[in-house]
Every structure is written in structure tokens, then in C-alpha cells.
Amino acid sequence: MYTSRIAGIGHYVPDNVVTNQDLLQFMETTNEWIVERTGIEERRWVVPGSDDRPSTMGTKAAQIAIKNAGLTPDDIDFIVFATLSPDYYFPGPGVQVQDLLGIREIGALDVRNQCSGFVYGLSVADQFIKTGMYKNILVIGSEYHSGGLEKSTRGRGVTVIFGDGAGAVVLQRSENGHGILSTHLHSEGKHAKELALIGPATSRWVDAIMSENDPEDTSYYPHMNGNFVFKHAVTRFAEVIMEALGANGYNPGDISLLIPHQANLRISQFIQKKMGLSDDQVYNNIMRYGNTTAASIPIALSEAHSEGRIKEGDLVLMAAFGSGFTWGSALIRW
Ligand code: UT7
């Protein structure tokens, strides 16, 4: 069995900065409420009509990751693309990345799993490298939330949270044994509707939405039972972090850097306190980007790495929780 390591990282976010103050034009809210409840100060939102889409943003992040790995697109053997906001209902954006990068006809896999999408994607790619099937796999998380959010007071509980952007890594067969130590994936589908966008999809198709023409119908906007999700998030984050540490014989004090999915700064702070971690051991950038779902961990990883927060030999732990519910972790010896 081989080990896989992250050989290159990249991220891309739209230029358009939307501050909390900017949201006042759509809804009744305050900067104070958003900062106090979520930690978010601003997010990036795609400018409608621009070239930014999940596929193109993901491709830009991937190009940086490939370059940082010292590779060219032709070296990539496989693509894993995680998103909940694909360009099209089908096909998923993995094939668009294959086309945009001009890579030969390699496989492209689309992963859902929402906020846990990147960790799920990383785990899938890790298995392919472990078995020796592939040597260089692109793992991308990319989201374009802003086009589908309900920009009104009714939708404010969800809309203020989400941002757009993309992150990517090249997962590569390791030469020195450093790399992913283990990944841990979970789901609990009985809570699927607590954080979901129900229609348009086959359970509630466009015809039904249009024919009913119900002004109270919000099924085509994301719905979140915020308090319920919050409570499950703090429990599952802690569990899956301890699971990864326990599986490898480590304690929280051994973590060099925890990169939690950026769901809410209060969740990260709760986890930090519960685990007894110092500020140096936890990376947060939700203040600048909001929650970018599948893109949040690779964007944070990219920024943490370029800020010099990750060094050779460090123990890096990624953990995610989100819609499904799904949650997961990946422990890496860098
Ligand atoms: O990434 C996937 C996982 N996601 C998460 O883990 C998110 C988990 N949940 C959360 O982060 C929080 O629950 C939210 C940030 C979504 C909401 O914060 P909260 O402290 O749970 O607020 P709440 O939903 O209990 O709402 C409290 C009040 C309500 O007013 P009343 O009923 O008390 O009068 C809301 O209507 O805050 C109101 N409110 C707002 N007020 C100003 C909700 N959204 C806003 C807003 N601005 N944007």
C-alpha cells in the first residue's frame, strides 16, 4: 500500500467583496448580529454574468495547485470534484474541469456531501493512491452559493452565512511516507431535511414548483434549522477529531494545526475550547469568506499554507460537518 500526500494547494475567490453592511440593501439585519452569531465580516459573491462558476473557479484553484505541485495538467490521473452548487443539474463539474484544463480523457468523479464534500473527496482520492491505481489526483471543492440564496429578510438566517469560492489540492503518491494517516467518514440521513435544498429535484420537480406558483414556497432555497444543526455540529466535530487522533495514537496536544470546516466561528471556538487547543493550533478564515461549504477547507488550507502555518512534519487535522448530516476528518503528517 502507498501513502498519499498533498503536493500542491490552490484557491480562487471572486473579487467581489460583500460586507455585512452591504447585505442591508436586501434584508433587515445588522453587522453586530452577523459578527456576534457567526464571526463573519465579509464574504465573496460571484458577480452575476461574470465568468465565475463552480467549474471555472474550481479550474482556477486547480491550476494553482498543479503549478505548486510542480506538475502540468497532463500529469493528473483523475479528478474528484466536490460541490453542492454544480453549474448544471447534470453532468457534474468534474468533466468540465477535465475539458477546461485540456487534460486527456481521464476519469472525473463528482462528490456531493456538501460541507463534508472535500473531506469525502480527499478520502476517495486517498484510496485510489493507496492501492496504486493513480499517482496524481486533483481534489477540488468549489461553490457558487450566492446565485441561489433568498436575498430577503425571510432568508436572512441562511443567506448571511454563505460565500462563493474554490479550493483545490493535488494528492500525490508520497515518496517519504509522509501524508494522509487516516480518514474517517460518517452520515446520519434521518436529519437530511434539517439542512437541505429540496427542490427543484426529482422529489419536487420544476413542474410542481411552477404550477403551484405558491409565494410561500421556499423549497428551492436552502433551508437550515440553525440551532439543531449547531448542536449536532459541535458534537460530531469533537467526535470525529477524537476518532482521527485515537486511530493514530495521538492526543489533541499533538495537533500542529486543526483546519475545521468554516461553518461558524462560534463552532470553531467551541471545539477549540473543548479540545484545549491554543489559538496557534486552529485556523479560521470564516471572517473573510463566510461558509463556502465544500470549498471552505481547501481555501483555509491554502491560506494557512501560504501564511507559513504548516511546515514539513506537522500534524494537520481537517474536520467537517454539514448537510446530510455528513461529517468526516483527515489526519495528515505533512
Ligand atoms: O456548514 C454546515 C453546518 N452549518 C452549521 O453548522 C450552522 C449552524 N448554525 C448556526 O451557525 C446558527 O444557528 C445560525 C448562525 C444559523 C443562527 O444563529 P442562532 O444564534 O442559532 O440564531 P437563531 O436562528 O436562533 O435566531 C435568533 C434570532 C431570531 O429572531 P427571534 O425569533 O429570536 O426574534 C432570528 O429571526 O435572530 C434572528 N435572525 C437574524 N437577525 C438579524 C436570524 N438571522 C438573522 C440575521 N440578522 N441575519
Catalytic site residue from 11, 145, 184, 261: 261
d(CA 166, CA 187): 24
Query: Does 112 contact ligand 1 (Cβ within 6 A)?
Result: no
Question: Do 235 and 200 share a domain, yes or no?
Answer: yes
Which residue is closest in CA terms to ligand 1's atom 12?
226
**What is the 328 CA–ligand 1 centroid distance (Å)?**
24
Residue 232 belongs to domain with CATH number = 3.40.47.10
Residue 28 pLDDT class (50, 70, 90 cuts): very high
Which residue is closest in CA terms to ligand 1's atom 14?
226
Query: Does 39 contact ligand 1 (Cβ within 6 A)?
Result: no
Question: Do 210 and 170 share a domain, yes or no?
Answer: no
Mean pLDDT (the chain) is 97
Instruction: Let me know if 291 is a catalytic residue.
Output: yes
Question: Do 199 and 187 share a domain, yes or no?
Answer: yes
What confidence score (pLDDT) does residue 77 get?
A: 98
Residue 273 pLDDT class (50, 70, 90 cuts): very high
Report residue 40 as a C-alpha cell.
463573519
Among 36, 150, 152, 230, residue to substitute to test ligand 1 (most atoms within 8 Å of Cβ): 230
Q: Rounded mean pLDDT of 95-121?
A: 98
Q: Rounded mean pLDDT of 155-164?
A: 97
Question: Do 31 and 167 share a domain, yes or no?
Answer: yes
Q: Which residues contact 9 (CB under 8 A, 6 or more apart)?
A: 64, 65, 68, 167, 168, 169, 170, 298, 301, 302, 305
Question: Looking at the 3D structure of the chain, how many domains does it have?
Answer: 2
Question: Do 95 and 10 share a domain, yes or no?
Answer: yes
Question: Do 125 and 186 share a domain, yes or no?
Answer: no
Which residue is closest in CA terms to ligand 1's atom 36?
157
**pLDDT tens figures, 141-151:** 999 999 999 99
> Which of 144, 177, 210 marks a domain boundary?
177
Query: Does 37 contact ligand 1 (Cβ within 6 A)?
Result: yes
Question: Do 163 and 295 share a domain, yes or no?
Answer: no
**pLDDT tens figures, 237-253:** 999 999 999 999 999 99
Please say whether the beta carbons of 297 and 303 come within 8 A: no
What confidence score (pLDDT) does residue 144 get?
A: 98
Q: Which of 302, 14, 257, 281 is nearest to 139 (CA)?
A: 302
**pLDDT tens figures, 167-223:** 999 999 998 989 999 999 999 999 999 999 998 999 999 999 999 999 999 999 999
Question: Do 302 and 241 share a domain, yes or no?
Answer: yes
Report residue 130 as a C-alpha cell.
493507496
**What is the 11 CA–ligand 1 centroid distance (Å)?**
28
C-alpha distance from residue 130 to each of 37, 84, 238, 260, 267 (Å): 41, 27, 27, 24, 33
Instruction: Let me know if 115 is a catalytic residue.
Output: yes
Please say whether the beta carbons of 324 and 113 come within 8 A: yes
% of the chain surpassing 70 pLDDT: 100
Query: Does 329 contact ligand 1 (Cβ within 6 A)?
Result: no
Query: Does 40 contact ligand 1 (Cβ within 6 A)?
Result: no
> Which of 136, 158, 177 marks a domain boundary?
177
Instruction: Let me know if 68 is a catalytic residue.
Output: no
Catalytic site residue from 184, 284, 291, 305: 291
d(CA 37, CA 266): 7
Query: Does 234 contact ligand 1 (Cβ within 6 A)?
Result: no
Question: Do 164 and 218 share a domain, yes or no?
Answer: no
For the chain, the residue count is 334
Q: Rounded mean pLDDT of 6-17?
A: 98
Question: Do 136 and 216 share a domain, yes or no?
Answer: no
Q: Rounded mean pLDDT of 32-50?
A: 97
Question: Do 12 and 123 share a domain, yes or no?
Answer: yes
What domain range includes position 63? 4-177
**Number of the ligand 1 atom closest to the C-alpha atom of 23:** 48
Question: Do 15 and 91 share a domain, yes or no?
Answer: yes
pTM, to two decimals: 0.97
Catalytic site residue from 113, 115, 136, 232: 115
> Which of 152, 177, 202 marks a domain boundary?
177
